[in-house]
């Protein structure tokens, strides 16, 4: 079956322009996550969706970043007025419904499946 | 404090040998899950293995096993019989149950190079 897909695979833009990054999760996965990976670094959490709602936006680095998800499927991450420090690989992941409750983390594998990422370069 | 610490920026191993990649974690939540992901040069994150905090036995998935020492808060990945295709970045990650959802916190990764 199809995995998580992301588009575009590469995006080069000029400082100050807006960009939109798209994520198409695995069919049936209600949870969707955006991460950012700067060169040689680990993954930094940006935002999480459960269905169309975003219970946690705490990782968004500034108000220039926003994301939406429609129809419980495709998600778009928008970066307005891009800056050079926004250059990174943006990774999207999806999973089955997120486990809830205090025991969930230690009892439920529910791994995240990642897309190939979008490499954003801001000149 | 870092929630996930991977102290080895790079590791070298010869083909067919075993290698251990270190991971220590920090949480006060009794319910958590630990994950290892592999990221080859193509960039995609590939899930390898999971260990739940309540699991009594160490997890194994084929050539991968997890040396889980709960009291020491370590979750080292062991790759047996290394192959050239194992050359990649390896990330340890944790999901804490008390958060109510399953965002992962990642370590900075270890680059593994397997030589012939």
Q: Do B91 and A42 touch (CB under 8 A)?
A: yes
Q: Is the pLDDT of residue A102 over 80?
A: no
Task: With beta carbons under 8 A apart, name residues in chain A contacting B95.
Answer: 105
Residue reference for tokens 């955006």 = A34
Whether residue A105 has pLDDT greater than 80? no
Q: Which of A29, A42, A98, A120 to mutate to test the interface with B (most CBs of B within 10 A)?
A: A42
Q: Give B83-106 pLDDT, tens digit per residue.
A: 999 999 999 999 987 555 668 899
Gap between the Cα atoms of A23 and B3, Å rounded:
28
Which positions 56-85 of B are in contact with A (Cβ < 8 Å)? none
Could you tell me the pLDDT band of residue B25, with boundaries at 50, 70 and 90?
very high
B52 touches chain A (CB under 8 A): yes
Residue B1: the pLDDT is 67
Chain A residues touching B88 at Cβ < 8 A = none
Overall average pLDDT of the A82-105 stretch: 84
Do A115 and A92 meet the contact criterion of CB atoms below 8 Å apart? Answer: yes
The proportion of chain B whose per-residue pLDDT surpasses 70, expressed as a percent, equals 95
Judge whether A8 is closer than 8 Å to chain B, CB to CB. no
Q: Give, in order, the Cα–Cα distances in Å from B113 to each of A26, A107, B66, B89.
A: 31, 33, 19, 9
User: How far apart, in whole angstroms, are the C-alpha atoms of residue A45 and residue A4?
Assistant: 17
What is the model's pLDDT at position B82? 96
Mean of per-residue pLDDT scores for chain B? 93
């Amino acid at each position: 079956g199809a995995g998580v897909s992301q588009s575009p695979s590469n995006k080069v833009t000029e400082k100050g322009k807006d960009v939109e990054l798209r994520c198409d999760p695995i069919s049936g996965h209600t949870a969707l996550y955006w991460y950012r990976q700067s060169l040689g670094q680990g993954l930094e959490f940006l935002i999480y969706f459960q269905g169309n709602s975003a219970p946690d936006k705490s990782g968004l680095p500034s108000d220039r970043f926003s994301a939406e998800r429609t129809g419980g499927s495709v998600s778009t991450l928008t970066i307005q007025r891009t800056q050079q420090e926004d250059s990174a690989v943006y990774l999207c992941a999806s999973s089955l419904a997120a486990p809830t409750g205090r025991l969930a983390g230690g009892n439920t594998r529910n791994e995240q499946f990642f897309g190939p990422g979008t490499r954003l370069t801001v000149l | 404090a870092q929630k996930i610490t991977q102290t080895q920026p790079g590791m070298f191993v010869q083909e067919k040998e075993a290698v251990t990649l270190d991971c220590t974690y920090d949480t006060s939540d009794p319910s958590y899950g630990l994950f290892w992901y592999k990221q080859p040069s193509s960039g995609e994150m590939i899930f390898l293995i999971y260990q739940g905090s309540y699991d009594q036995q160490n997890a194994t998935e084929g050539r991968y096993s997890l040396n889980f020492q709960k009291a020491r808060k370590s979750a080292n990945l062991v790759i047996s019989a290394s192959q050239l295709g194992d050359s990649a970045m390896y990330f340890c990650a944790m999901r804490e149950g008390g958060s109510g959802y399953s965002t992962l916190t990642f370590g900075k990764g270890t680059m593994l190079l397997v030589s012939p």
